[in-house]
Chain A
Amino acid sequence: MDIFGIFGFGEGGWGLALLAGALMTLLVSACGLLIGAVIGSLVAWARLSGHRLAGAAGEAYAALFRGLPELLVVYFVYFGSSTLLTTVAGLVGYDGFVGVPSFVAGALAVGVISGSYQAEVFRAAFLAIAKGELEAAVSVGMDRWLLFRRIIAPQVLRFALPGLGNLWQVALKDSSLISVTGLTELMRVSQVGAASTHQPFAFYLGGLVLYLAMTLVTTRLFDLAEARATRGMRRIAG
């Protein structure tokens, strides 16, 4: 079959399957990034809280998930969570397998990894807020919530945006390792297509192009967001 046949949308063409895989990759990475944001801000907060135990726990989390190969984390999250859930369900009397859907497991795995990096991004962003601003806010009588909402959150987001943009790219690529969960994202479609048609190059090159397109378009979006978020800041170098 020629290359147009393979990537076509007609009978026997894999075009639709590849596009659907790319869409799934986007979805699962986006959910992973969001989960990672929740985990990351919790860990960053733990490390900044000054609480000894919380700080140590946050540090251990970040060290562990930044130190393990992503593939291992995917394995542990996917099969660990299903085994755990099934055991718990068994205890309350439900008999049989309680699966974590592959999508949830995949997003969770991407999120657990991303969270360990996002923690560092959020922490650095918080530390980049000028001390004087915080002191000034307190001295004009802002309460903690107002301080967080008006001073801390907007600036943390602004300072964290470039880092988050990088981590978004990382999440997109980490999602290529969750094919072990059986989720039909782009990498899995490429692999299955390659094996089923014996045309590996066509499929991997197709995958490469789609991944590149996704990162280029989404990076552009992050750049725009960054430009907007920093429009009030003076720039030293482009």
Chain B
Amino acid sequence: MDGAFVGTTFWRLMAALPLTLEVWFLSVVLGGLIAAGVVWMRVGGSKPLEILARAYVALFRGTPLLIQLFIVYYGLASLPAVRHSLFWPILREPFNCGVLALGLCTAGYQAEIFRGALLAVPHGAVEAARACGMSRLLLFRRIVFPIALRAGLPAYSTEMISMVKATALVSLITLWDVMSVALKIRNDTLVTYLPLILAGAIYFTVNYILGAAFLSLERRLSPHLRPRPS
């Protein structure tokens, strides 16, 4: 094993990083949107919708992502009805399927985080706001949202990092993310550890930056927890 091999391996892995980040970003955004809908169903007051939301969360949080990916990419495509539908041009592409599967999965987790954050808003605060005559929108904008955001942020940051790691499974559906490239180099050359260590370093760095960014956001949003100026 020589320096040149380390160098070329590293740059081949880095070349795959944009795809990893794209899948991550798009699936997180998609998941957030779905999660908002699921939470709305869950706390909206309609019993059937609530059951549906609960089932969604249980299904996507309760089964391995690997199987979910498999079913979204290979499973849907095996149904002639899907292949002849309007959605086939979208579902045909592995990239879209990856974003969809990861988005569906993280939506289950994000929905629970949103719900937990909503529960963290003290009743008293809501009552006080109502007593002042705040409209529903104003109440959400000025009271519920800021408090829930702060309460949900730590869990949300963990979920974001989990999603970066989850993208490492998309090699199953022929996408060339960092992990797929690392596994390929490993299979081609049979060098056991080096590609994995380099890939690990890349994932770790990305997650470290992400974690630090969320931490600084958390500090900014919690001025009341900062030490008193002396």
Q: Is B179 an interface residue (CB 8 A)?
A: yes
Q: Do A207 and B67 contact each other (CB < 8 Å), given the known contacts A63-B208, A201-B78, A212-B59? A: yes
For chain A, the count of residues having a C-beta within 8 Å of the partner chain is 32
Contact assessment for A215 and B196 in the assembled complex, using a CB-CB cutoff below 8 Å: no
**Residue A69 at the B interface, CB < 8 A?**
yes
State which of A38-46, A70-78, A100-108 sits at the interface with chain B: A70-78
Indicate the member of B59, B70, B179, B203 with the most A CB atoms within 10 Å: B70
Interchain CB contact under 8 A, A200 and B70: yes
Residue interface bits B68-106, CB-to-A below 8 A is 1, else 0: 001100110010000000000000000000000000000
Q: What 1/0 mask marks residues of chain B from 39 to 79 whose CB sits below 8 Å from any chain A CB?
A: 00000000000000000001101111111001100110010
Partner of A211, one of B64, B74, B119, B169: B64
When C-beta atoms are compared, the residue in chain A nearest to B124 turns out to be A236
Q: State which of B66, B165, B199 has its C-beta within 8 Å of the C-beta of A176.
A: B66
- Interface hub of A68, A69, A204, A208 (most chain B Cβ within 10 A): A69
When C-beta atoms are compared, the residue in chain B nearest to A213 turns out to be: B62
B192 on interface, CB distance cutoff 8 Å = yes
Asked if B62 and A216 sit within 8 Å, CB to CB, the answer is yes
A69 to B200, CA, bound (A): 7
Do B204 and A204 touch (CB < 8 A)?
no
B200 contacts A72, C-beta separation under 8 Å: yes
Known: A200-B74, A204-B70, A207-B67. A215 touches B200 (CB 8 A): no
* CB of A66 within 8 Å of the partner chain: yes
Contact residue among A64, A68, A173, A219 (Cβ-Cβ distance under 8 Å from B63): A173
CB-CB nearest in chain A for B75: A201
Interface residues in B189-214 (C-beta closer than 8 Å to A): 192-193, 196, 199-200, 203-204, 207-208, 211
A3 located at the interface, meaning its Cβ lies under 8 Å from any Cβ of chain B in the complex:
no
The proximity string for A residues 69-99 relative to B, scoring 1 for CB distances below 8 Å and 0 otherwise, is 1111001100100000000000000000000
Point out the residues of chain A lying under 8 angstroms from B33, CB to CB: none
Query: Across the interface, do A72 and B196 meet the contact criterion of CB distance under 8 Å?
Result: yes
Which B residues, 162 to 202, have Cβ-Cβ distances below 8 Å to chain A?
Answer: 165, 168-169, 179, 192-193, 196, 199-200
Whether the Cβ atoms of B165 and A173 lie closer than 8 Å is no
Q: B123: CB under 8 A from chain A?
A: yes
Residue A169 interfacial (CB < 8 Å): yes
Query: CB distance B165 to A212 under 8 Å?
Result: no
Q: How far is the CA of A204 from the CA of B64 in the complex (A)?
A: 10
- The answer to whether A208 touches B67 (Cβ under 8 A) is yes
A67 with B208, Cβ < 8 A, contacts A173-B65, A216-B58 known: yes
Instruction: Check A67/B196 contact, CB under 8 A, given A187-B64, A237-B123.
Output: no
Rounded to whole angstroms, the CA-CA distance of A59 and B59 in the bound complex is 33
| Distance in angstroms between the alpha carbons of A70 and B168 in the assembled complex | 9
> What are 27 A-B residue pairs whose CB atoms fall within 8 Å in the complex?
A64-B204, A66-B158, A67-B161, A67-B204, A67-B208, A69-B179, A69-B199, A70-B165, A71-B168, A75-B196, A79-B193, A169-B61, A173-B65, A176-B67, A177-B66, A187-B66, A200-B74, A201-B75, A201-B78, A204-B67, A204-B71, A208-B71, A211-B62, A211-B67, A212-B58, A212-B63, A237-B123
A69-B165, A76-B200 known; 14 other A-B pairs, CB under 8 Å?
A66-B207, A68-B200, A69-B203, A176-B66, A177-B66, A201-B75, A201-B78, A204-B75, A207-B67, A208-B67, A211-B63, A216-B58, A219-B62, A236-B122
A interface vs B, CB < 8 Å?
63-64, 66-72, 75-76, 79, 117, 169, 173, 176-177, 187, 190, 200-201, 204-205, 207-208, 211-212, 215-216, 219, 236-237
Spell out B's residues near A (CB within 8 Å). Answer: 58-59, 61-67, 70-71, 74-75, 78, 119, 122-123, 158, 161, 165, 168-169, 179, 192-193, 196, 199-200, 203-204, 207-208, 211
- List the 3 closest A-B pairs by CB distance, nearest first: A215-B62, A67-B207, A69-B168
